Amino acid sequence: MSDVNGVGIGLRMEMAKELLEKKPAEVKWLEIHPENYMNRGGRFPTALKQAMEKWPIATHGLTMCYGRAEPFAEEYTTQLKQLLSDVQSPWHSDHLCFSDVDGVFAHDLLPLPFTEEAAKLYTRRIIEARDATGCENLAFENVSYYAESPDSESDEVTFCLEVLEAADCKMLLDVNNVYVNAKNLGFDPRKWIDQIPAERVVQIHVAGHLVRHDGFRIDTHGEDICDDVYDLLDYTLRRIGPKPVLLERDGNFIPVDELLEQVRRLSEIYDRATEGAR
Amino acid sequence: MIVDHQRRFMQVLLDAEPPAEALEKLGGLPERWLTYRHMVRRRMQGMIKSGLPRTVAALGDARYQATYDAWLDEAPPRTRYIREIVPAFADFAIPRWNADKDVPRWVIELGRLEAAKWEVGYVDVPWPEEPGEFTFEKVAVMNPTLRQLRFDHPVHKDLAEGETDYAPRPTAVMIYRKSEDDRLYTWVPNALSADLVDGWLAGAETVADVVKRVCAKHDTAITEKFIETLGGMLADFIEQGIVLGAK
């Protein structure tokens, strides 16, 4: 069984100093983005070393994105493999989308249409990444998406299930992304989550999102979690059991003590929802 | 084809103007694809403004924005590490500003300084495990993060209140990171010291040979007093982790 359990937060440099000084017991594990530590000297790798003395680490990539048209660069996957080994991450996740083409990086998570061709591409890349990194528990995260392509041949959850089966991989279930998509596109988030096989899920993400003046929602990770997302997390945990929950906060940083209030609320939900299943 | 979708999407994000044809072929609601354009451009803009805050402020909104838009259009980021877009942007922008007579020279120097400081903050270099004891008879082992830049203006200092321009003054600035605390440090040497540092950084001559050559260039006699001053400077450099030893 993995040491990554309960509620964790992301190791972000904007709050690393305070976090590493306080070492709050409420935080059970940390998530890192490998891109922030690979090919890098200075305070980032130093902070990671200090964090590893206290917490288990799980890795979550930002730029591998399984929808890449070309195979992954060997230099990148070799370095990633080393990092996963160094931090002993029990799984590695990245996103079901693309972020670069023809060598140009957008530094964002860009959706592909839900087509058979896309499913095959994702499947091929997930298998390729698993082979290259040696990570058996490779997972994809469902993303927030703001534009629907008329080329799509299925809905998102059907598409995710297809890739899960074809690639025989794991899933990082982002509850906030399901909620944001549900509100923007008009579907029932609980029905979406009902279809996800619990045994595939290795981790859950929750975060805050921005509600624009026109009501459209953007997954910013810079707001507090809304009550609906707390409720949806409770529902998800009751359905899929005790999976580690990560609070994402990547902008509009708040003092660690304020973040810990949200961690405590998440922990209460986690404990209540998974009681008897742990 | 998926790759066609990806290329159209990228054009909408990065081209100076989102191409109508690409938007049409992506289908659905154009404003939704344009939401991504706004997000992508804002994220990278935020990173560049974090790395080059004084340069961006000194350029002014209109000139900075024109450079930023041109960069995305003509030389979009080819790195997966978002931190590296700051020096990538500076590499694109500085020749452009050099060719623009309306951009003050000191603003370009400031851009070079901020980009170098940003890069030294994260550069991944091996630290010598056994740098060797310092001696004048060997080649200096320098801090591997150390960079020395030369300017015609003292842009490492903030402009005094009420001033809008720097008076010219040749200035060298050393930028480095210490291994023990990972913080960024700067040091402003005088002209002779800066030449010594350049010589030691080149790593081709012994410490003493660099001293002799640089002193000759500066018409400086190597007197007892000079050696005493040099010794003090070297002691400071060693204490500050600028000089690590000699081999």
Instruction: Tell me the C-alpha distance between B97 and A58, whole Å.
Output: 44
Q: Is the pLDDT of residue B220 over 70?
A: yes
The answer to whether the Cβ–Cβ distance between A41 and B125 falls below 8 Å is yes
Listed by start position, the domains of chain B span: 2-103, 140-246
CA distance linking residue B95 with residue B110, whole number of Å: 14
- Asked if B180 has any chain A CB less than 8 Å from its own CB, the reply is no
Q: Is B145 on the interface with A (CB under 8 A)?
A: yes
Tell me the chain A residues in contact with residue B2 when contact means C-beta distances shorter than 8 Å. 67, 69, 112, 115, 117-118, 121
Query: Do B58 and B107 touch, CB atoms closer than 8 A?
Result: yes
What confidence tier does A1 reach under pLDDT thresholds 50, 70, 90? low
Residue A220 has pLDDT above 60, yes or no: yes
Q: Which two tokens stand for residue A241?
A: 């059991």
Residues of A in contact with B81 (CB under 8 A): 35, 38-40
Predicted TM-score (pTM) of the model is: 0.95
Enter the ipTM: 0.95
Q: Where are the beta strands (DSSP E) in A15-97?
A: 29-32, 57-60, 92-95
Q: pLDDT tens-digit profile of B154-178?
A: 999 999 888 999 999 999 999 999 9
A117 near B CB under 8 A: yes
Specify whether the CB–CB gap between A111 and A155 falls below 8 A.
no
CB contact under 8 A, B6 and A110: yes
* pLDDT for A172: 98
CATH dotted code for A7-274:
3.20.20.150
Question: Is the CB of B13 less than 8 angstroms away from the CB of A39?
Answer: no
Q: Which DSSP letter does residue B143 get?
A: -
Write the CB contacts of A240 (distance below 8 Å, at least 6 apart in sequence): A173, A193, A196, A198, A201
User: Between chains, do A106 and B124 touch, taking CB under 8 Å as contact?
Assistant: no
CA atoms of A182 and A112, how far apart (whole Å) = 18
Inform me whether the C-beta atom of residue A69 falls under 8 Å from chain B C-beta atoms. yes
| Chain B touched by A110 (CB under 8 Å) | yes
Question: Domain ranges in chain A?
Answer: 7-274
Exposed e or buried b per residue across A216-255, where buried means at least 16 C-beta atoms within 10 angstroms of its C-beta:
ebbbbbbbbbbeebbebbbbbbeebebbbbbbbbeeeeee
Half-sphere exposure of B222 (CA within 13 A, CB side): 13
Question: What does the block give as tokens for A82?
Answer: 């080393």
Under 8 Å between Cβ of A264 and A258 = no
Q: Do residue B124 and residue A44 have CB atoms under 8 angstroms apart?
A: no
Pairing state of beta strands B171-177 and A245-248? unpaired
Q: Which of B32, B36, B85 sits opposite A110 (nearest CB)?
A: B36
Average pLDDT rounded to a whole number, residues B35-51: 97
Of all residues in chain A, the one with the smallest CA distance to B81 is A35
pLDDT digits (tens, 9 = 90+) for A3-33: 999 999 999 999 999 999 999 999 999 999 9
d(C-alpha A153, C-alpha A94), whole Å: 23
The 3 state secondary structure assigned to B72-137 is HHHCCCCCCCHHHHHHHHHHHHHHHHHCCCCCCHHHHHHHHHHHHHHHHHHCCCCCCCCCCCCCCC
Tokens describing residue A218: 């953007």
Q: Is the minimum CB–CB distance between A17 and chain B shorter than 8 Å? A: no
> Does the pLDDT value for residue A278 go beyond 80?
no
Query: Cβ–Cβ of A105/B78 closer than 8 Å?
Result: yes
Residues 154-213 of A with CB under 8 A from B: none
Which overall architecture, per CATH, does domain B140-246 show?
A: Alpha-Beta Complex (3.90)
Mean pLDDT of chain B: 97
